[in-house]
Amino acid sequence: MSLGKDLQHVATLEPETIPSTFPKKFPRRDSRLARLREGLRLVWRVLTSNRKVAIGSSIVAFFLLVAIFGPLLAPYDPTATSRLSETPPSAAHWLGTTATGQDIFSQLLYGTRSSVFWGFLTGLLVTLVSVVVGLVSGYFGGIIDELLSLATNVFLVIPALPLAIVAVGYFPKGPLTIALVIILTNWSFNARLLRAQTLSMRSREFVTAARASGESVWRIIFFEIFPNEIGIVAAAFVSTVIFVLLAWTALEFLGLGDINTVSWGSMLYWAQQSDSIFSGLWWWFAPPGCCIALLGAALALINFGIDEIADPRLRSEVSEHVPKELKEKAVT
Amino acid sequence: MRHLLRRILFYLFAAWAAITLNFVIPRLAPGDPAAVLLGNLQSRGIHVGAAYLKAIQAELGYNTSDPLPVQYLDYLNSLLHGNLGVAVTSSFEPVTNVIGRDIFWSLGLGLVSVTLSFALGCLVGIVVAWKRGSLLDTILSPLLNFLSAIPYFWMALLILYIFGFELRWFPLTGGYDELNVDPGWTLDFIASVIYHGILPALTIVIASVAGWMLTMRNSMITTLSEDYVLMAKAKGLHTSRIMFAYAARNAILPNVAGFAISLGFIVGGQLLTEMVFSYPGIGYSLLQAVQNQDYSLMQGIFLVVALGVLGANFLAELSYAFLDPRVRLERSA
Amino acid sequence: MPMTDNQSLHTPNNQSSGNGVLLEVRNLSVDYYAVNGIVHAVKEVSFELRRGEILGLAGESGCGKSTLAYAISRLLRPPAYITGGQVLYHPRKGEKLEKASQIVAVSDLGADHQSGQHAAASLETIDVLRLSPAQLRAFRWNEMAIVFQSAMNALNPVMTIGTQIMDVLKTHCPEMSAAQRRERAAELLRIVGIAPDRLRSYPHELSGGMRQRAVIAIALALTPELIIMDEPTTALDVVVQREILDLVSSLCREFSTALIFITHDLSLLLELADTIAVMYAGRMVEKASSRQFYAHPCHPYSYGLLNSFPKLHGPIRRMAGIPGSPPDLRAVPAGCAFHPRCPFAWQPCQQLEPQLQPSTAETPDQLVACHLYDVHQRPEGPPSSAEFAARYEALAEGSAIA
């Protein structure tokens, strides 16, 4: 072992620097609850320790608050039409009105509720499917793994959006259809990630011990192994929500959702249908897109922060307290 | 060689899965697509007789009286003969004709923009990782992070609005100037195509470059701490040689390996971009199909896109094996 | 900085005689700027290396020996920084000098604490730590090559062995044709005992021993004056280790290359090295010729190291080993860093940091940093070998009981 390496670890306080993954070994505790608590505590520590994560989660928290309380603050009924059509932002209509005179600010508040709710719910369901497939596949191995891996890899290479468009096209329009289709087309990526993680965990002592003590297979998978992967599952959930959000709005934008409910996607659909661009109605199509981008960027920021915590080398800012002249001299 | 064979088998299987999904989905759906289509046609004032309905059903492959296995064999058989049904939106033209006409536009746009964004993303990733902690790194990385979260179609709307509508630098719709230029290998036509293609390509590049760049940056940073990069430095090699032949050459591998997932995503984005720009590719046809419930065209487009992406992924894997000599040994062992 | 710089006092500084000093390290210090504080990994290390000399650098892991090597070759990466000292390199006269003179950076010694007396020598001296990036590139591998611990990690996995050798030739000898480069690469492989057709092999296609041979071949490509080897045999099994050592030893004699060989395994050095230097907690605690060192290790730590493994030859000694473990570099004990583990430690060891100086007047070449050899601290003179053995035994028994 060279000292250089030893000390770099001292310097970064990271004994295992595995890139882009978030696995941290959790010490074996007596109760599983303790390990779960350990996992949640880690999530909390991650939330507060890294600047990127902190900013990202603040923005996400803001959107969650708007989703919950926003409609209460809405000055107008989002679907009510009025004669004041296509008015630019003003004191009465903060974000202007649509071609049919609906208040865009109110629409945005209501739309946030719908989009955030469905985005997070579907993200949760997608993650759930990934977890089940990944853990079962990784734990059992053998033919079950072969088949599940094959399915995972196939869904990984088939382009999701065209498949989703075809699938949604055939079924009754509505959020349930979209949710189901998005689950169908987005579960594979994280399933592969979690399978690899479970595979490496299968032969750990605590799993062997649980097996020896006659615990049932499902208990081992979901009560012994799963709590250890809570960190990586959380990261997977965050990235899933981004994809779900993008897919959801894309399908709604195409008019494949319920176009009569107010959401970010349907707002963009109507904006596009009314040729808002060619009438110069930027205040119609810009706000919902900004919201999607902002929420998506916040979620991505959280994930980058998590990556940096797992591998401190990825940080942009390097030890600020090094004297400048040393840095300059240290050209290698 | 065994590795290659395994991958070929996998992609054949994936292709079969895509084809079968395409067969299964309509049959899982409630209601009769042919009836929907008929209603749709009638609402547009096109009246067709019962005989025609049957013909459409046959064309669509929804001859519901046959047992499913027979339908499936019929479906495979017509696929084999390149028969994807007729596109109602395009006055009953065979779907293969519609796609055959559109595909070149999409392929051209896709190839150019994916190549550009991959090259640009990798290059920026290399530089940013090399100058880690510099102003460039601290500004560019979060900025691109924000860009990567923007939906393609909204980016397209925004770019179209700014550069097309407000500034009037570029045309608003279409693939070329249909009024003044005739298609053909003339300089005017090519210039017109490029002029019309700039905004859609820009959209795709901006929306997808961040993904490549961030993967490259992280992978590059990991690679830069490898001993062989240090040894290359100790050897007194030129910085460019170390940066590209030793560090980037290894760091690019995760990007190539992740090509599959990224490509599927980008292709989806491209379809949406084409829709916004009314670009004459398959994305625009897909929009027409979706709006008019033209199921045959929708399915045909899905099939072509899926098979195209599978093919591109296979090529990416081949190039991966070419780039990483270890793969040939390890995976076949 | 106290000027107890014995090194510069004891060696003549006019290197015009070709067989003199090749490398001078003066008061070199390296710090790690860790998140939770600064770690002094190398503290004011000074030594000299003559042409063709094999210097063995020994110590437990974490003692700073590798960091020292990386500092000399200017390969330290953040958060490690050189905080002081000099590395002076004296290129050989003649054809090598011509090459070197293009890159010579005459150190403006006047700016430092050194006075004008070195001016004559400095004309041919390369101040390694002050080379510009371009000069450094030209200096590297021409004069100083380095062999890393793990050949698997040191070789680019996606590049053939041949390309990795020829890369060096292409950069440093632009006048060579492609055919000449290939011929030279094949010759180098032959020298280290690999069939030349392996030029087209990738690293993963070679065995561990072959990989290390290939790395040595790369190191020899420009027949440098100095090679630094950082634990080159640690990752190998015993038989292969032996082969590599024999190869290194014969090659160094053949090309009269100076070598700094870093290892935690002192037994390897006794056979290979001309001179052995021992490091502890970032400081050099003893430096002596191999023979002297083996016959009579001065520092209690050296004695402990030497007696922690069995010997094939020589008198039977009781194996004692050193109880305890090396200090955390973030909290190095005051005084002599070794005192908590030292069987001789007494009051001055806890307060005064001993300096490296000749152990006795009769042995000016055996340098040791220990108060046992300081007549002011210990007028009765250093302890005998028997006393060393007795103290260590007592310590071992004491720790066994405790």
Chain A interface residues (partner C, CB cutoff 8 A): 1-4, 6-8, 10-13, 318-319, 321-322, 326-327, 329-332
User: Where does the pLDDT of residue A116 fall: very low under 50, low under 70, confident under 90, or very high at 90 and above?
Assistant: very high
Mean per-residue pLDDT, A159-179? 87
3-state class (DSSP) for residue B30: coil
The upper half-sphere exposure of residue B27, i.e. CA atoms within 13 Å in the direction of its Cβ, equals 18
Q: Are C261 and C54 in contact (CB under 8 A)?
A: yes
CB contact under 8 A, B246 and C73: no
Alpha-carbon torsion angle B88, B91, B93, B99, nearest 10? -70
Mean per-residue pLDDT, B306-320? 89
**Rg of chain C taking only CA atoms, in angstroms:** 22
Of B146, B233, B313, the CB nearest to A293: B146
**Residue C225 CA to its chain's centroid (Å):** 14
Residue A313 at interface with chain B, using a CB cutoff of 8 Å:
yes
* B267 → chain A, closest CA residue: A159
CA-angle at B255, arms to B251 and B261, nearest 5° = 160
Q: Which of B:209-268 have CB within 8 Å of A?
A: 214, 217-219, 221-222, 225, 233, 260-261, 263-265, 267-268
* C-alpha distance from A87 to closest chain C C-alpha (Å): 56
Complete edge-to-edge strand list for the sheet that includes strand C144-147: C144-147, C226-230, C258-263, C54-58, C275-280, C283-289, C363-368, C357-360
Please, what is the angle between helix A104-140 and helix A264-273, to 10°?
Answer: 120
Of C36, C65, C81, the CB nearest to A330: C81
- pLDDT at residue C118 above 50? no
CA-wise closest residue to C142 among C98, C108, C203: C98
Give bridge partners of residue C29 from the DSSP assignment.
C84
Percentage, residues of chain C above pLDDT 90: 6
Of A162, A167, A170, the CB nearest to B301: A162
Q: Are A149 and A179 in contact (CB under 8 A)?
A: no
DSSP string, B16-30: HHHHHHHHHHHHHSS
Q: Which residues of A touch C64 (CB under 8 A)?
A: 3
Mean per-residue pLDDT, A318-332? 61
CB contact under 8 A, B30 and A157: no
Q: Are B306 and A157 in contact (CB under 8 A)?
A: no
Of C35, C66, C75, the CB nearest to A3: C66
CA distance A212 to A206: 10
Give bridge partners of residue C45 from the DSSP assignment.
C28
* A316 → chain B, closest CA residue: B133
CA-wise closest residue to C195 among C177, C169, C214: C214
DSSP string, C30-85: EEEEETTEEEEEEEEEEEEEETT-EEEEE--TTSSHHHHHHHHTT---TTEEEEEE
Q: Are C93 and C18 in contact (CB under 8 A)?
A: yes
Residue C332 at interface with chain A, using a CB cutoff of 8 Å:
no
User: Where does the pLDDT of residue A127 fall: very low under 50, low under 70, confident under 90, or very high at 90 and above?
Assistant: very high
Tokens of C117: 């007396």
Looking up tokens 């929708």 gives B298
ipTM summary value: 0.85
Minimum mean pLDDT range among B41-55, B78-92, C305-319: C305-319
Q: Which of B:134-193 have CB within 8 Å of A?
A: 137-138, 141-142, 145-146, 148-154, 157-158, 160-161, 164-166, 172
Q: What is the mean pLDDT of chain C?
A: 78
Q: Which of A:211-270 have CB within 8 Å of B?
A: 242, 246, 249-250, 253-256, 268
Residues C43-62 have pLDDT tens digits of 888 888 888 889 999 888 87
Looking up tokens 């974000």 gives A95
Q: pTM (2 decimals)? A: 0.81
Q: Are B160 and B152 in contact (CB under 8 A)?
A: no
CB contact under 8 A, B250 and C167: no
φ, ψ of residue A52 to 5 degrees: the values are -60, -45
Q: Which residues of C touch A17 (CB under 8 A)?
A: none
Q: What is the pLDDT of residue C311?
A: 55
Q: Which residues of B touch A166 (CB under 8 A)?
A: 22, 25, 298-299, 302
Q: What is the pLDDT of residue B39?
A: 73
- pLDDT at residue A203 above 50? yes
Residue A142 at interface with chain B, using a CB cutoff of 8 Å:
no
The H or E element that residue A49 is part of is helix A32-49
User: Where does the pLDDT of residue B329 fall: very low under 50, low under 70, confident under 90, or very high at 90 and above?
Assistant: low
DSSP conformation class of B160: I
Q: Burial, A223: exposed, middle or buried (Cβ in 10 Å; 0-12, 13-18, 19+)?
A: middle
3-state class (DSSP) for residue C359: strand
Q: What is the pLDDT of residue C115?
A: 39
Residues C67-88 have pLDDT tens digits of 898 899 888 887 888 888 888 8
CA-wise closest residue to C101 among C130, C124, C121, C127: C124
Q: Which residues of B touch A19 (CB under 8 A)?
A: 218-219, 222
* C132 → chain A, closest CA residue: A331
* A331 → chain C, closest CA residue: C133
Tokens of B327: 């793969």
- pLDDT at residue A61 above 90? yes
Q: Are strands B93-94 and C21-34 parallel, antiparallel or unpaired?
A: unpaired
CB contact under 8 A, C168 and B324: no
CB contact under 8 A, C34 and A329: no
Determine which of C141, C144, C161, C167 to mutate to test the interface with B (most B C-beta atoms within 10 Å): C167
Give bridge partners of residue C34 from the DSSP assignment.
C37
Minimum mean pLDDT range among A132-146, B92-106, B134-148, B223-237: B134-148
- pLDDT at residue C334 above 70? yes
Tokens of A25: 């070994």
φ, ψ of residue C288 to 5 degrees: the values are -155, 165
User: Where does the pLDDT of residue A327 fall: very low under 50, low under 70, confident under 90, or very high at 90 and above?
Assistant: low
Q: What is the pLDDT of residue B50?
A: 67
CB contact under 8 A, A3 and C81: no
CB contact under 8 A, B132 and A318: yes
CA distance A241 to A250: 14
Scored b (16 or more CB within 10 A) or e, C29-66 reads bbbbbbeeebbbbbbbbbbbbebbbbbbbbbbebbbbb
Tokens of B321: 């094996």
Q: What is the pLDDT of residue C315?
A: 55
CB contact under 8 A, A322 and C70: no
How many C-beta atoms surround the C-beta of residue A107 within 10 A?
27
Mean per-residue pLDDT, A127-135? 93
Residue B305 at interface with chain A, using a CB cutoff of 8 Å:
yes
Q: What is the pLDDT of residue B120?
A: 93
* A17 → chain B, closest CA residue: B222
* C-alpha distance from B126 to closest chain A C-alpha (Å): 13
CB contact under 8 A, C39 and A321: no
CB contact under 8 A, C156 and B245: yes
Mean per-residue pLDDT, B28-37? 71
Q: What is the pLDDT of residue C310?
A: 60
CB contact under 8 A, A318 and C75: no
